[in-house]
Structure 1
Amino acid sequence: MPRIADLKLDNILLEVDDLGIATVTLNRPAKRNALNEATIDELIEIFRTLPRDGVRACVLRGAGDHFSAGLDLVEHHAADRSPADFMHVCLHWHEAFNKMEYGGVPIIAALKGAVVGGGLELASAAHIRVIDHSAYFGLPEGQRGLFTGGGATIRVADLIGKSRMIDMMLTGRLYKGEEAVTVGLANYMAEDSLAKAYEIARRCAENLPLTNFAICSAISHMQNMSPLDASYAESVVAGVVNTQPAARERLAAFRDGSGPRIKPTQG
């Protein structure tokens, strides 16, 4: 498997700090970080590599004023693809976003400006989403004669419900601010979404890697199962995670009072 240092990236910037937190930056600001085929290829390689190279958490962001305006419509129009060709494009998107959702590394998306179409599909594959006051969410496919192909029918519908997603696609309705948080498109709103995303990433990076893997992978898998199968899978995962040696150390710290206590902050 390639290491992070071996990746050849032209459309995305990738950095990893001393805490093991990766920053993945969509780097096509002149195109509002529209997602072309090459960018999707790079996302696949990045999120194939991060879990295997010791990364403890990831912040996903966009360069410039926008997170992502979605599918690169100029490239799509110029390619004049056949139905079969575009089906394979969509399957490639699913491969990238599945590696994000199921890869086991916590991904926190720092969102600003346009989070539209395929950009929303990308953001919905992150585990936590943080917005600032400039961020807005849309699925304009209906107005463009298109249909979602990167997982919106799975992830966005799961976040906000079928009816709201249909409304977004039919009417071009946009969500932003507190309303976006209320309906489930974002988890947090902050003056500085990037700073808040790093704060969350640092908190996640303090967890045990195996525990994070289970939280960021097993839960999604279990949501795809029947209740009976999910209860069995949950028991198996808990058996593995809850008996890891590093967990025993943390439990011992809780027992003797040296570990952190869970309580609400004052004020």
Structure 2
Amino acid sequence: MADQPARNFVSYELQGEIAHIGLNRPEKRNAISDSFVEMIADAVARAESEAKAAVLYGHGDHFCAGLDLAEHVKKTPIEGIRGSRRWHAVFGTIEHGTIPWISALHGAVVGGGLELAASTHIRVTERSAFFALPEGQRGIFVGGGGSVRVARLAGAARMTDMMLTGRVATADEAERWNLVQYVVDTGEARRKAHELALAAAGNATISNYAVINALPRIQDMAKEDGLFVESFIASFTATSPEAEERLRAFLDKRAARVKAPGTAGGG
């Protein structure tokens, strides 16, 4: 059945400086349709305009079970290309935007859901989560950026295994494969994601922008090209007014020093 235009599949909540964006189509395991993508785009634009970091999560029992196959099966080849390119554009505004995004994962993180999660900068998963790329079994191919983002996280060989055999990964396997960075108990992913978002929001804005935009591009460069670009970014960020104030605060002992994990007063 086609989406109902009046229904909003994305919730939005601003908690201080952190935007919380929820995928809200639980009866379909948050499967993503074309109209759903446009609602994600609107929420991302709003978060970029008023938040310093964002948390992406799913309502119901699952983060996202992927592409809405009922809609996809009706598309012509050119409609499929246009849809895929729109996913690329919207997910790209997350990956290459101006604020850090942390995804809170639980239940199904499958197909397009994994592609969406891969566009965020940090991924937190509950132990209940499971990860899969079943496109091969459906007779299709990833179209939401997975061949680039997921393959770069887990490696092409691991992704090939998942797509050819239908292998389903647990949360612990996903962490070992670099698909996620944190594994937490059931019900804790969104809280942990918010904690990480707060930490990121406390950084200098220009530093966050450099981290989320420069690092992935430098990875695509030859070694010497990457080092050359790094020098320019390092110089540019270090000479900003905010950097000067933060460096002076550290030198004047007004900012916490880095300490070992578990040490009281670490920062």
> TM-score, length-normalised on structure 1?
0.92
Note the alpha carbon deviations across 1:89-120, whole angstroms, 9 max, x for none: 00000001111100021100000000000000
Secondary structure of the equivalent of 2:208? helix
**Mean Cα displacement is larger for which, 253-262 or 103-112?**
253-262
Contact map agreement 1:21 1:55 (CA 8 A) in 2: yes
**Pick from 100, 104, 116: which aligns with 2:98?**
104
Which runs of structure 2 are paired with 1:105-254 in the superposition (5 Å)? 105-191=99-185, 192-254=188-250
2-structure distance, mates of 1:259, 1:63: 38
Residue 5 (structure 1) aligns with? none
Report the Cα offset of residue 9 of structure 1: 7.9
Residue 110 of structure 2 aligns with an amino acid whose one-letter code is V
Residue 23 (structure 2) aligns with? 26
1:48 matches 2:42? no
Contact map agreement 1:44 1:95 (CA 8 A) in 2: no
2-structure distance, mates of 1:145, 1:134: 27
**Pick from 52, 71, 75: which aligns with 1:81?**
75
2-structure distance, mates of 1:12, 1:218: 29
Residue 57 of structure 1 aligns with an amino acid whose one-letter code is A
Contact map agreement 2:124 2:189 (CA 8 A) in 1: yes
Cα distance change, pair 250–92 in 1 and its aligned pair in 2 (3 A): same
Report the Cα offset of residue 232 of structure 1: 2.8
Report the Cα offset of residue 74 of structure 1: 1.4
Aligned-CA RMSD value: 1.5
1-structure distance, mates of 2:211, 2:221: 16
2-structure distance, mates of 1:89, 1:103: 21
Note the alpha carbon deviations across 1:53-96, whole angstroms, 9 max, x for none: 2411100000001000000011112xx21111100100000001
> TM-score, length-normalised on structure 2?
0.92
Note the alpha carbon deviations across 1:164-220, whole angstroms, 9 max, x for none: 100000111011122211111110001111111111111111111111111111212
Secondary structure of the equivalent of 2:255? coil
Residue 88 of structure 1 aligns with an amino acid whose one-letter code is R
How many corresponding residue pairs? 256
Secondary structure of the equivalent of 2:146? coil
Which runs of structure 2 are paired with 1:12-23 in the superposition (5 Å)? 12-18=10-16, 20-23=17-20
Report the Cα offset of residue 28 of structure 1: 0.3
Q: Can you give the 5+ residue segments of structure 2 that lack an aligned partner in the other structure?
A: 1-5
1-structure distance, mates of 2:193, 2:135: 29
Q: Can you give the 5+ residue segments of structure 1 that lack an aligned partner in the other structure?
A: 1-7
